[in-house]
Structure 1
Amino acid sequence: MENQFILPTPPLPLTPAEEEKLRGRLTGFKGGYDEGYLRGRLAILDGRPEAPLPVRNIHVMYVASGKGYPYSPLDDAVLFAIQRLAAQVTITDVRQNLVELAAAQRPDLVLVLDGMDLPLEQITTLRAAGIKTAIWLTDDPYYTDFTMKIVMHYDYVFTLERNCIDFYKGLGCSEVHYLPFAAHREHYRPTTTRSPINRDVSFIGSAYWNRVDFFREILPELMSYNTVINGIWWDRLPEAPLYGERIEIGKWMSPQETAVTYSGSKIVINLHRSHIDEVVNNNSLMIPAVSPNPRTFEIAASGTLQLCDARDDMGSFYKLGEEIETFASPKELMDKISYYLTHEEERRAIVLRAYERTLKDHTYIKRLDQMFSIIYG
């Protein structure tokens, strides 16, 4: 019997339903690969220990804000850094008698966070006793009507707003220094396993009126993606009831919960509050804000793409277009959301560069080392 060559049976053409199912599987496979690759790279970077910095032979008395949440996470971050950079640390808050405590402990430096509720005569007494005093202001320039009354009582003033430097110097403060906040790695870090959150876009923050007006202009288009907005006062947004739980009203999120949400979002919007807000601000001189807010560093530390409204001093911290993306209008924001949700490699590259930059330059340990270098040389 002669050998017979049997032609293979050609595959049957896929039905439209089968084609759709196959496309879905391929899309899901690629999405899983992209997420796994990004989280793997982030895990490698996250595993690198922070470069050790010298421990100074100083005794620091740290005076916490005493305001509770949301200031308490800032206290945690600052204190964490001080304890790794100073030989001795005494912890207290604005409700305690600092003069008596300092007389017993004899610190070299009293560092106050916020300081709005601290009796100023105590600072005067500490300075008269030869103890250095410093204040790190938390909300510049939004409450300068209050801070202008307290800054001249300190030896060193640290502000997170560049535009407040000359303002405080004009009041008679000789040592005014620009020191923005940073990322606390114990609070903000990427989820390096499969994330429990899966969003296209997130925004977390209070509904200041400039944010309400900005989002109203683009809300239908923005919410056409898998977008969720969290924060207090969002009942100011008339359209909020249309989106149910996707606009969470009145919810405060812990730093850890915020970090998980950031990390589980492909894009996080960072829209700064306005320096003009008659309802909540106390900035009668209308000092404009040009410096990045703390969220700038916290979002980058969580391993996600940040789209941030353009601020003049942003380029001092991240390379624009390489480590952070900015927008100057609602339309530009939506254009960039559309672009980066369909260009995974470009999004991933910015995420990784921003994360690496943050670990290198923008942690609280780096900031406190800079502060101590200014005070002690």
Structure 2
Amino acid sequence: MKVLCVFGKYQYGDPARGINTEYAAFVPALKKLGHEVIHFESWDMSSYSSYAELNQALLQTVERVQPHVILTVQLYYEIWWETLKIIQARRDVATISWTTDDSWKYKEVSRFIGTAYHAMTTTYPEVIAKYYSDGISNVLLTQWAASSETFNQPLSFTCCRYKVSFVGRAFGNRMKQIAELRNYGIEVDCFGHGWASGQISTEEVPRIMRESVISLNFANSIGENQIKARTFEVPGAGGFLVTEYTPGLEKHYTLGKEIEVFHNIPELVKKIKYFLEHPQERDAVAWAGFERTISEHTYEMRMEEVLNFAIASKEEYLITNVTISESKSIEDACQLHKLTLWLKFLRSILLWFCIRIWGHKRGRRAARRITYEASWRIFGYKTFTASGCPGRMFPGY
């Protein structure tokens, strides 16, 4: 089967930020399942002067490759609604979008793009009802996993290089939580964008987790606690995971036996000290977590389920939509994407104010963000069409 993966190779489309989680996980898993995988870069705009060029290139790729399934991960509005409807009208390819951060992103993105796909995924059980109420019935409840590319048996306590480590971006509550631990006398080796160590390579991440007596995971950086990929990656790499508690963890691991959890910093301090003083118990939990992960939480398992769901959803769509209304041509969509004098003027004013307040780099990002936040609230799904203001005003920001 041919699978066209439409998402970024690098985090947020920036090579300096390292390989993107979905690229590192999905592509190898799909290949191991025996599928032919074609990657289309949709996050890095350096090769395109506008989103019109990107969407035209995507449709050209679909025509050339003739995929059976298109699997996307949308950041925001880079893939047009019109483009998805053109692909949907082909009737020969199933489309499914893997969503991220639906705890907040459902309201801003997923609910607007959902009906343009044959199927959607979510890792948030509480959001399923919202999909249904918005008329998006083909949604798969799935979860993150661990890449078999990084599986490694746990090291014993005595062979570990780091006592306590954290791998992840430095933002939101994370810096405060690390600072609190240090106030309690717990030193944490931190790795990733924003920390003193700087960005690390994708290959280094599982090595650090495996070589740590304790690998920390904070379940949120901003907002509600969430089950994220790191929950599965640490035990899969042979690490001992101590993670902030998130509702639903019990469905995936036996708490206290396969992974360890905490609810607040004082409790975390106690558990860190306990496991640093009880190496045999630490090793037992690390091994149990590793075995559970390789047996139940691999991306091969997740991707097989996702592809099957996408194909079944496409077939159901074709049955219930015997006659598919003619979609707008990509040429017509591109005409709607042109930047008007009014939008140019609005962009100039917004950039002037934002750059004066936040500086050139952050100001440009802030202007785009302000436009996007206003657009989805006022114009809804049109934000994700060719005529959407954010994409017209800030291509590639």
Bigger radius of gyration, 1 or 2? 1
Is 1:63 the counterpart of 2:26 in the alignment?
no
Which residue identity lines up with residue 217 of structure 2 in the other structure?
A: N
Distance 1:353 1:306, change over 3 A: same
Counterpart position of 1:106: 66
Point out where structure 1 has 5 or more consecutive residues left out of the alignment: 1-57, 235-247, 277-287
- Note the alpha carbon deviations across 1:324-356, whole angstroms, 9 max, x for none: 110111111011111111111111110001011
Is 1:135 the counterpart of 2:84 in the alignment?
no
Q: Counterparts of 1:178 and 1:77 in 2: how far apart (Å)?
A: 18
Counterpart position of 1:220: 183
Is 1:229 the counterpart of 2:229 in the alignment?
no
Which residue identity lines up with residue 207 of structure 1 in the other structure?
A: A
Describe the SS at the equivalent of 2:121. strand
Q: Counterparts of 2:294 and 2:36 in 1: how far apart (Å)?
A: 25
Q: Counterparts of 1:194 and 1:335 in 2: how far apart (Å)?
A: 18
Q: Counterparts of 1:88 and 1:272 in 2: how far apart (Å)?
A: 34
Counterpart position of 2:207: 260
Is 1:119 the counterpart of 2:66 in the alignment?
no
Q: TM-score, normalised by structure 1?
A: 0.70
Paired residues of 1:140 and 1:159 also in contact (CA < 8 A):
yes
Q: Counterparts of 2:233 and 2:262 in 1: how far apart (Å)?
A: 19
Is 1:148 the counterpart of 2:83 in the alignment?
no
Q: Counterparts of 1:343 and 1:192 in 2: how far apart (Å)?
A: 15
Describe the SS at the equivalent of 1:65. coil
Which residue identity lines up with residue 168 of structure 1 in the other structure?
A: Y
C-alpha displacement at 1:190, in angstroms? 5.1
- Note the alpha carbon deviations across 1:247-274, whole angstroms, 9 max, x for none: x26x122222111111111001111224
Describe the SS at the equivalent of 1:209. coil
- Note the alpha carbon deviations across 1:259-312, whole angstroms, 9 max, x for none: 111111100111122453xxxxxxxxxxx44x4111111111121211111111
Aligned positions of 1:334-349 closer than 5 A: 334-349=269-284
Which residue identity lines up with residue 144 of structure 2 in the other structure?
A: F
Q: Counterparts of 2:35 and 2:181 in 1: how far apart (Å)?
A: 52
Paired residues of 2:157 and 2:213 also in contact (CA < 8 A):
no
Describe the SS at the equivalent of 2:148. coil
Aligned positions of 1:311-326 closer than 5 A: 311-326=246-261
- Note the alpha carbon deviations across 1:86-113, whole angstroms, 9 max, x for none: 5443332333623222233322221112
Describe the SS at the equivalent of 2:112. coil
More relative contact order, 1 or 2 (CA 8 Å, 6+ apart):
2
Q: Counterparts of 2:214 and 2:251 in 1: how far apart (Å)?
A: 22
Aligned positions of 1:271-350 closer than 5 A: 271-276=218-223, 288-289=224-225, 291-350=226-285
Distance 1:71 1:147, change over 3 A: farther
Paired residues of 1:75 and 1:113 also in contact (CA < 8 A):
no
C-alpha displacement at 1:191, in angstroms? 7.4
RMSD, matched Cα? 2.6
* Structure with greater strand percent: 1
C-alpha displacement at 1:82, in angstroms? 1.4
Counterpart position of 2:325: none
Counterpart position of 1:91: 39
Counterpart position of 1:75: 23
Describe the SS at the equivalent of 1:308. strand
Paired residues of 1:188 and 1:256 also in contact (CA < 8 A):
no
C-alpha displacement at 1:362, in angstroms? 1.2
C-alpha displacement at 1:198, in angstroms? 1.4
Q: Counterparts of 1:269 and 1:261 in 2: how far apart (Å)?
A: 11
Describe the SS at the equivalent of 1:304. coil
Counterpart position of 2:344: none
Q: TM-score, normalised by structure 2?
A: 0.67
Q: Counterparts of 2:158 and 2:275 in 1: how far apart (Å)?
A: 19
